[in-house]
């Protein structure tokens, strides 16, 4: 253990944080998120609600003569949002057609392939002789998996896909359209889901590593207690007590998206943007990307070794 | 061919309306029927189809306000999950005001829950057709005293409230089954959408149904009903597909009433309130108004269609003569004519046979004649030849006798 020395007078290197901040502010941040879930679960609406702006359009089938998509498509949109001088480049990847057919076997393949392709592209850029000073990061930092609010349990397809995805990306499951569940139903549903996730050994974000200190472990525990987040999204605003909030108005009441008793949207938003944004990006680089990279390089080495042996 | 006799009594006599002077009493017939049917009780078989978690069991319990389905125990993650769709039947007898209803609910757990749902339609279609088959073979029995009707009278299809349009699995299922069963589509868990979303969604569903040629159950309108019933029936018809919410528990609303509903932190959804959801309309259509219509349509249209297809496939041909009206005198006449025709035919054929036989005999005789003549000629020729030979010999001998000396010496030598 190296000894910590206290300087005798103020040196001034504590301004390094500000120097970094200044640099980072100029560069801006990049956040890539992928939305996975059946059509009609409110994926596009949720993203619009989280970032409080109209970023994506719903990709549902609205007319009879429009054909049903036969495969999962990957559609990415890019936006830049600025808040207090901080520039965030947001890449939102939607997956219309997932889980929509009668036979959904292998409908998750295009998604897994897309995620791996992003890792692959980054690796290639890293390995070239002449590299960019700052490689554009298209790797997916977070996958929001939308669960149907049946109130019973996970479906077979949910289990299979979450397992496959958790091996390549940070998966954050959410219960979509949770305004169809009463608080009791919501709690029992979440319990059931957590039980199933543990049983099937699905590793969800946040991961515990050995280097975490007490505080971080506690925070992770708190998050894990809330996952999956039961959310409600809304593009429209309603007036409650004179304030304009995002919500949904029915004949029997108004669902306030920002009310913690109504749904857990605020928890999800804070988790994604206010507390764990940087951690998601870092985990993608340090855990998922590294795993992918080592597998690829080992395979490359095997290929090189095999050729002289032939 | 039948001969249409214009003087026969069954030539369409005009139906005259007679006025009765006095009370006969047959206006009591509906009451007699009512008494009898109340005694027998009614039967209703309903099938519920939809992905799990759409509230099917809750809806059935809510419709009949009885715990027909017990709440399902959640499966442990390690438990074996079934690999195919199952067809389960639950029976209940409910009584209200002395009227007994024998209700059978056919559930289809597993529909839409697998990764590959393509084989899910077939077991359901097979089950429906099996029930038709069972009824058909009962009809063919020698003694048909107690017919048990297990045919599905209505199929309630639960649509997921996506807010977009029908899903592929919805369209596929309804397309395969709409010609065998009365389809009643409902939007499940409709408390997740507000009025505008529901209206848009219903429109898109109807448009999808039309585009794919899917027929859903239309309640028949009777013209001689009173205005109020007609208006009600019209309102119900326009609300299809029904946006329903199911709830069996009673909760307290903000203004203190105890109603069947769901209590959310932001308000209480009342199941029986027509402003909140279409549950009342579904119940009206299914139980109060059109239960008999459903059964009738199943029996008269769907079952008959199945029966016709099946019998034609088995090789029966349509015998149109059974539709002719039955009049004994005419029938006798027809029979006589048919009989005479038969006799004439028989006669003609016998004549034919006779002629043929005669021909054959003639030919034979001719042949033997020719033969005999031939033989006769032969023998005659032979005889002629012999006669000529004898004449020649005679001539020789006479010549030899006229020169005896010359020949004596010669003859006595030896």
Domain ranges for chain B: 35-72+83-317
Q: Name every chain A residue with its beta carbon within 8 A of the beta carbon of B169.
A: 102
Give the Cα separation of B102 and B94 in Å (integer). Answer: 7
**CA distances from residue B259 to A184, A253, B71, B130, B250 in whole angstroms, order as listed:** 19, 16, 20, 41, 5
Contact by Cβ (8 Å): A154, A124: no
Do A192 and B118 lie within an 8 Å CB cutoff?
Answer: no
Contacting residues of A for B279, CB less than 8 Å apart: none
Contact B116 A105 (CB under 8 A): yes
Average pLDDT over residues A9-25: 85
Q: What's the pLDDT at B7?
A: 46
- Domain B35-72+83-317, CATH 3.40.50.300 — does that match? yes
Please spell the DSSP secondary structure of A69-81, one letter per residue. Answer: PSS---EEEEEEE
**Residue B3 — very low, low, confident or very high, per pLDDT cuts 50/70/90?**
very low
Mutation site for B-interface testing, chosen from A58, A70, A101, A102 by largest number of B Cβ within 10 Å? A102
pLDDT of residue B408: 53
CB contact under 8 A, A177 and B268: no
**In the predicted model, what is the mean pLDDT of residues A68-88?**
85
Give the integer Cα–Cα distance in Å for A297 and A303. 10
Longest dimension (CA), chain B: 179
pLDDT at residue B390, as a whole number: 95
Most confident residue range from A53-57, A143-147, B117-121: A143-147
Distance, CA of B365 to CA of B368 (rounded, Å): 5
How high is the pLDDT of residue A137?
A: 86
pLDDT digits (tens, 9 = 90+) for A108-149: 999 999 999 999 998 888 888 877 777 888 899 999 999 999
Buried/exposed code over B202-230 (b: 16+ C-beta within 10 A; e: otherwise): bebbbbbbeeeebebbebeeeeeeeeeee
The answer to whether A230 touches A264, Cβ cutoff 8 Å, is: yes
Query: Confidence class of residue B404 from pLDDT cuts 50, 70 and 90?
Result: low
- Judged by CB atoms closer than 8 Å, whether chains meet at B165 and A249 is answered as no
Confidence of residue B360 (pLDDT cuts 50, 70, 90): very high
The pLDDT-based confidence of A161 (bands split at 50, 70, 90) is very high
Contacts with B59 from chain A: Cβ below 8 Å = none
Residue from A105, A252, A259, A261 whose CB has the most chain B CBs within 10 Å, to mutate: A252
Give Cα B19 to chain centroid, integer Å: 42
B232 and chain A: CB distance < 8 Å anywhere? no
Check if the beta carbon of residue A161 is closer than 8 Å to that of residue A52.
Answer: no
Rg of chain B over all Cα atoms, to the nearest angstrom: 46
Spatial separation of the C-alpha atoms in residues B183 and B209, rounded to whole Å: 11
pLDDT at residue B71 greater than cutoff 80: no
Q: CA separation (Å) from A196 to A19, A177, A281? A: 46, 20, 27
| Residues 6+ away with beta carbon under 8 Å from B358 | none
pLDDT for position A93: 92
Give the rounded percent of residues in chain A with a pLDDT score beyond 70: 96
Q: Which of A66, A180, A253, A256 to mutate to test the interface with B (most CBs of B within 10 A)?
A: A180
The helix/strand/coil state of A7 is coil
pLDDT band at A210 (very low <50, low <70, confident <90, very high): low
Reported confidence tier of residue B4, pLDDT bands at 50, 70, 90: very low
pTM over 0.80: no
Q: Is there a contact between A64 and B77 if contact means CB atoms under 8 Å apart?
A: no
* Helix runs in chain A, H state only: 16-27, 43-50, 109-127, 156-166, 183-199, 214-226, 265-269, 277-283, 290-309
Average pLDDT over residues B351-376: 94
Query: Per the omega criterion (within 30 degrees of 0), is the bond before A157 cis?
Result: no
Distance of CA B73 to the CA centre of its chain: 40
Exposed (0-12), middle (13-18) or buried (19+): which is B194, by Cβ within 10 Å? middle
């Amino acid at each position: 253990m190296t000894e910590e020395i206290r300087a005798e007078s103020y040196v001034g290197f504590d301004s390094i944080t500000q120097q970094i901040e200044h640099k980072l502010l100029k560069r801006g941040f990049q956040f890539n998120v992928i939305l996975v879930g059946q059509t009609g679960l409110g994926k596009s609406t949720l993203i619009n609600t989280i970032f409080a702006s109209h970023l994506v359009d719903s990709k549902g089938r609205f007319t009879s003569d429009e054909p049903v998509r036969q495969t999962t498509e990957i559609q990415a949109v890019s936006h830049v949002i600025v808040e207090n001088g901080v520039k965030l480049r947001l890449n939102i990847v939607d997956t219309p057609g997932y889980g929509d057919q009668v036979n959904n076997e292998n409908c998750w393949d295009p998604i897994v392939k897309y995620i791996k392709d992003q890792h692959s592209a980054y690796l290639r850029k890293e390995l070239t002789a002449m590299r960019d000073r700052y490689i554009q990061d298209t790797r997916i930092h977070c996958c929001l998996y939308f669960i149907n609010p049946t109130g019973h349990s996970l479906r077979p397809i949910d289990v299979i896909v979450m397992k496959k995805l958790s091996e390549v990306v940070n998966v954050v499951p959410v219960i979509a359209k949770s305004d169809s569940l009463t608080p009791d139903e919501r709690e029992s549903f979440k319990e059931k889901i957590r039980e199933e996730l543990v049983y099937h050994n699905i590793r969800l974000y946040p991961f515990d590593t050995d280097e975490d200190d007490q505080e971080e472990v506690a925070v992770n525990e708190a998050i894990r207690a809330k996952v999956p987040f039961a959310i409600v999204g809304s593009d429209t605003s309603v007036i409650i007590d004179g304030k304009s909030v995002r919500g949904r108005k029915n004949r029997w009441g108004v669902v306030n998206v920002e009310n913690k008793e109504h749904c857990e949207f605020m928890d999800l938003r804070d988790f994604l943007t206010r507390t764990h944004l940087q951690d998601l990006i870092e985990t993608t680089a340090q855990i998922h990307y590294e795993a992918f990279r080592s597998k690829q390089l080992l395979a490359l080495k095997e290929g090189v070794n095999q050729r002289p042996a032939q | 061919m039948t001969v249409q006799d214009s003087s026969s009594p069954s030539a369409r006599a005009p139906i005259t309306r007679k006025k009765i002077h006095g009370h006969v009493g047959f206006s009591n017939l509906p009451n007699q029927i009512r008494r009898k049917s109340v005694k027998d009780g009614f039967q209703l078989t309903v099938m519920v189809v939809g992905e799990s978690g759409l509230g099917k069991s809750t809806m059935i319990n809510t419709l009949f306000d009885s715990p027909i389905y017990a709440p399902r125990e959640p499966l442990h993650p390690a438990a074996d999950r079934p690999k195919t769709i199952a067809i389960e039947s639950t029976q209940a007898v409910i009584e209200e005001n002395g009227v007994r209803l024998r209700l059978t609910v056919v559930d289809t757990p597993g529909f839409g829950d697998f990764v590959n749902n393509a084989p899910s339609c077939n077991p359901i279609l097979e089950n429906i057709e099996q029930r038709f088959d069972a009824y058909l073979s009962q009809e063919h029995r020698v003694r048909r005293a107690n017919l048990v009707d297990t045919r599905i009278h209505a199929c309630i299809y639960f649509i997921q409230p996506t807010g977009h349009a029908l899903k592929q699995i919805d369209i596929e299922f309804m397309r395969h089954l709409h010609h065998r069963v009365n389809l009643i589509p409902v939007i499940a868990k409709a408390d997740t959408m507000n009025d505008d979303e529901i209206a848009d969604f219903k429109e898109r569903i109807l448009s999808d149904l039309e585009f794919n040629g899917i027929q859903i159950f239309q309640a028949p309108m009777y013209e001689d009903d009173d205005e109020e019933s007609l208006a009600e029936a019209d309102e119900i018809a326009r609300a299809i597909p029904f946006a329903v919410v199911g709830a069996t528990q009673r909760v307290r609303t903000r203004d203190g009433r105890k109603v069947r509903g769901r209590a959310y932190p932001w308000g209480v959804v009342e199941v029986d309130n027509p402003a909140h959801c279409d549950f009342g309309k579904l119940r009206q259509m299914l139980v109060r108004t059109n239960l008999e219509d459903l059964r009738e349509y199943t029996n008269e249209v769907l079952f008959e269609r199945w029966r016709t297809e099946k019998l034609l496939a088995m090789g029966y041909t349509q015998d149109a003569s059974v539709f002719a009206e039955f009049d004994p005198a005419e029938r006798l006449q027809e029979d006589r004519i048919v009989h005479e025709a038969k006799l004439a035919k028989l006669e003609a054929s016998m004549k034919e046979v006779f002629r043929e036989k005669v021909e054959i005999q003639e030919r034979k005789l001719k042949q033997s004649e020719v033969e005999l003549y031939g033989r006769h000629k032969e023998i005659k020729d032979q005889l002629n030849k012999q006669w000529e030979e004898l004449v020649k010999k005679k001539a020789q001998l006479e010549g030899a006798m006229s020169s005896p000396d010359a020949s004596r010496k010669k003859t006595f030598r030896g």
